[in-house]
Structure 1
Amino acid sequence: MKKVFAILLTLTMALSLLAGCGSSKKEEQPAETNDTKTEQPAEAAPAPLSGAVALNGSTSMEKVVGALGEQFMSDNSGVSVTYDATGSGAGIEAASNGSADIGLSSRALKDEEKADRLVGTTVALDGIAVIVNPANGVEDLTVEQIAKIFTGEITDWSELGGAAGTISCIGREAGSGTRDGFESITGTKDACKMDQELTSTGAVIEAVAGNPNAIGYASLSALKDTVKAVTVGGVVCSEETVLDGSYEIQRPFVFVTKDGVALSAQAQAFFDFATSSAANDLIRGAGAVPVA
């Protein structure tokens, strides 16, 4: 009986070992292949830009637009950027009638211009410096004093602590964005009494530089050491004070386009570049304040 039991035990163990060996075997899976994968065609590189970009408008934006245009043409050798300095009013009209790709305005668009489907995009901010001849002893003026000078209430420098001399007011022509900004901020719209109305910022600077009793206004981006910018309410006209709003006499530099009218590929690319942070150093180097 014991012998039979031993044989049965031996057979049971053998069967258990065989079952264990069988369960340890794994079915081999077929190797994955890439036969079913399809290669995606490589995207074609965009064609280089070519053609012209026509800009028209504000004379105050000359340095900013010049710097932006020069860099854009350097980066895109097939594109030419042209700039016709005609004043803000003419630039806005050029954007409206399609004679320019982008109009340039050194003031915000008016409601009636927006009603004509025009769109203004601020590219930079610009301080309007109040300038006098370097020989003038007056260093600071308030906005109220500036308004009284340009409307004829104050006529002599001695009334402001300077040497005696009849004040000569020099400004821009009607339609100028600089004039519009200056008059809007100082509250002198259609009330200024000027000895000279000149057609460019450079001409105003030159006239003030040549007249010891002159006062005028000019874009911060266009200032030269041939004139002196007075502080306004104790605040110097600078990038920092324009950006933080502490300098009161400031205005935007605006790109004007028409809603619903697509720009050419090269004009759109210039627009995108000029309004991006990539243009900030160029705008700053031209004396204006970047906003991107």
Structure 2
Amino acid sequence: MKKVIGLLTAVGLMTAPLVQASTVTVSGSTSVAHVMEVLAENYQNTTNKSVEVQGTGSSAGIRAAKDGTSMIGMSSRNIKPNELTPKTKEIVIARDGIAAAVNKANPVKDLTQEQISKIYRGEIKNWSEVGGEARPIVVVTRENGSGTRGAFEEIMDLQRSVNGHTVTAITTSAQVGNGNGMIKTMVANNPYAIGYISLGSVDDSLNALSVNGVAATDNNIAAGDYQIARPFIALMNDDAPATAKSFIEYIMSEDGQRIVAEEGYIRVQ
């Protein structure tokens, strides 16, 4: 009996890696994960091939692709040269705007980029300074390592150098939320809050501000008129399994890009 159990265990150990290898693993940006999960579901329904998507943050996704702990990494910020190896490739699968969002009760509908930057630096502290009520502004930001935060800081000039190191210039009094969902909840529940989220995650629970008089819309991003925008990037090593490469091919196909557009993002093909 012991020999039979031992044989079955050995067979299980030999087949387990094969099962795992057939599953495409994807991890990284929670913003990219939103559309990636829909792409994965449709891909699975079409091909009967398994895809697992985990939202772990852009920095974690970049590392996962680099060291091979995930077949595909996801980033919603530009990637620094020292974060990749020569065999790691970047594929822009979509483009997305970052919406500066306020509570639906807030009368402010438009801000300049400079005003938003000053709010996040803590230089503008009251809504009355930008045409709103005489109430303190509650600044809400994403967590460190978030691709949305990294892109927002870069675009909005919210970084500074300290002893040769680049650090955030966002006010230390800012409240921090993990993920687009938490930011939406925090802003929706506070009439004096301002946050930033992926444009594809905007819904009726809050208002996306116009910036420099330009509405945060797909058409304005595609035309280059709305400036707070960033790429959605998939990362994959040259030696990634064929199953992972097939999934990327699907994402870049007409069907995949149609889903990208249906989910509120800008297609790249």
| TM-score, reference length from structure 1 | 0.80
Give CA deviations for 1:122-165 in whole Å, capped at 9, x if unaligned.
00000000000000000100000000000011000001111111
The Cα offsets for residues 62-90 of structure 1, whole Å up to 9 and x where unpaired, read as 3210121011101111x111011100000
What is the CA–CA distance in structure 2 between the aligned matches of 1:210 and 1:116, rounded to whole Å? Answer: 46
Which residue does the alignment assign to 1:129?
99
Asked whether the equivalents of residues 27 and 53 of structure 2 are also in contact (C-alpha less than 8 Å), the reply is yes
Residue 176 of structure 1 corresponds to: 146
Other-structure match for 2:7:
none
Distance in structure 1 (CA, Å) of the matches to 2:153 and 2:23: 35
Tell me the residue number matched to 1:197.
176
Equivalent of residue 189 in structure 2, options 210, 220, 239: 210
Residue 290 of structure 1 pairs with residue 260 of structure 2: no
Aligned residue for 1:71, secondary structure, equals: helix
> % of aligned pairs identical?
39
Counterpart position of 1:139: 109
**Shift of residue 277, structure 1, vs aligned partner:** 2.8
Higher alpha-carbon Rg: 1
Q: Is the 8 A contact 1:108 1:120 kept in 2?
A: no
Q: 2:233 aligns with which of 245, 254, 259?
A: 254
Moved over 6 A (4+): none
Alignment partner, residue 275 of structure 1: 252
The secondary structure found in structure 1 opposite 2:197 is: strand
Partner of 2:28: 57
Instruction: Tell me the amino acid that sits aligned with residue 266 of structure 2.
Output: V
The residue number in structure 2 matching 1:107 is: 77
* Cα distance, 1:279 vs structure 2: 1.4
> In the alignment, what sits opposite 1:68?
39
* Aligned counterpart, 1:87: 57
The one-letter code of the counterpart of 1:250 is A
- CA–CA separation in structure 1 for the residues paired with 2:75 and 2:93: 10
Question: Contact 2:63–2:83 (CA<8 Å) still a contact in 1?
Answer: no
Query: 222-231 or 114-123, which moves further after superposition?
Result: 114-123
Distance 1:195 1:252 in 2: 25
CA 1:114–1:51 in 2, change beyond 3 Å: closer, same or farther? closer
In the TM superposition, what is the alpha-carbon distance from 1:238 to its structure 2 partner? Answer: 1.1
Matched residues in 2 for 1:153 and 1:116: separation?
42
Q: TM-score, normalised by structure 2?
A: 0.86
Quote the Cα distance in structure 2 between the aligned partners of 1:117 and 1:53.
19
Q: Which runs of 5+ in 1 are unaligned?
A: 1-49
What secondary structure sits across from 2:96 in the alignment?
A: strand
Displacement, 1:116? 5.8
Show structure 2 runs of 5+ residues with no match.
1-20, 160-167
Shift of 1:208: 0.4
- Among residues 37, 54, 68, which one is paired with 1:98 in the alignment? 68
1:222 and 2:192 matched: no
C-alpha contact (below 8 Å) 2:33/2:54 kept by paired residues? no
1:237 corresponds to: 216
Which of 162, 166, 174 is the equivalent residue of 2:136?
166
